[in-house]
Amino acid sequence: MNLDMGHGMESMSWDEAVATSIVNEHKHLAGATLPILHALQENFGYIDRAAIPLIAEALNVSKAEVLGTITFYHDFRSEPAGRRVIKLCRAEACQAVGCEALVDHAAREHHLAIDSTSADGAVTFETIYCLGNCALGPAALVDGELVARLTPEKLSALCDGRSVQEIVKGALS
């Protein structure tokens, strides 16, 4: 199951002409702000701050309204994500089975703070709340793929670039 929201995928560098074309292509839609933002993020992997005035002008809304929409929805990002995106569930059920120890492990072993990207751009480590996989926690979405029963060893392997399929198939316990 792939639940990726445009994160951790290859995307093109910010290009104002392409962004303007995307805005113009979607501005006629009812409630166009969200479709525009989704299209920009899908295309670039993030929403550059330079898009805010483009969208505001095209939709005749304030820049504050556009920025408010971007910051309200957690899946929109204002900078490129790492090549791999790990979204760790930190809801109560996953907390009860050790997700916070994984946060500590990532910080200690991989110098990855929650809601940050590694210095080399390899990994973005984020919080998500409830993946609906409570019985198999701690759980995470890794590049949109669900990983259950995440352990420090599995997390390290994922941070080091091992494939999700290797982890899911039980190559590591």
Question: How does DSSP assign 114-152, residue by residue?
Answer: TTEE-TTSSEEEEEE---S-GGG-S-EEETTEEE-S--H
What is the mean predicted confidence (pLDDT) over 1-27?
73
Domains of the chain (ranges; CATH) run 16-72 (no CATH), 84-168 (3.40.30.10)
What is the per-residue pLDDT across 152-165, written as a single tens digit (0 to 9) for each?
A: 999 999 999 999 99
Cβ partners under 8 Å of residue 49, min gap 6: 78
What is the per-residue pLDDT across 96-112, written as a single tens digit (0 to 9) for each?
A: 999 999 999 999 999 99
Give the C-alpha separation, 81 to 121, whole Å: 7
Q: Taking the complete model, does pTM exceed 0.85, yes or no?
A: no
Give the C-alpha separation, 165 to 173, whole Å: 13
Closest CA to 134 of 158, 109, 99, 83: 99
Question: Would the pLDDT of 1 be above 50?
Answer: no
Query: How far, CA to CA in Å, does 156 sit from each of 2, 21, 108, 109, 166?
Result: 21, 41, 11, 8, 13
Which has the higher per-residue pLDDT, 10 or 166?
166
Confidence of residue 168 (pLDDT cuts 50, 70, 90): confident
String of DSSP letters for 25-59: HHTTSTTTHHHHHHHHHHHHSS--TTHHHHHHHHH
What is the mean predicted confidence (pLDDT) over 125-152?
94
Listed as own residue / partner, the contacts of 9-12 with beta carbons closer than 8 Å and 24 or more positions apart are 9/45, 9/143, 10/45, 11/43, 11/44, 11/45, 11/46, 11/80, 12/43, 12/44
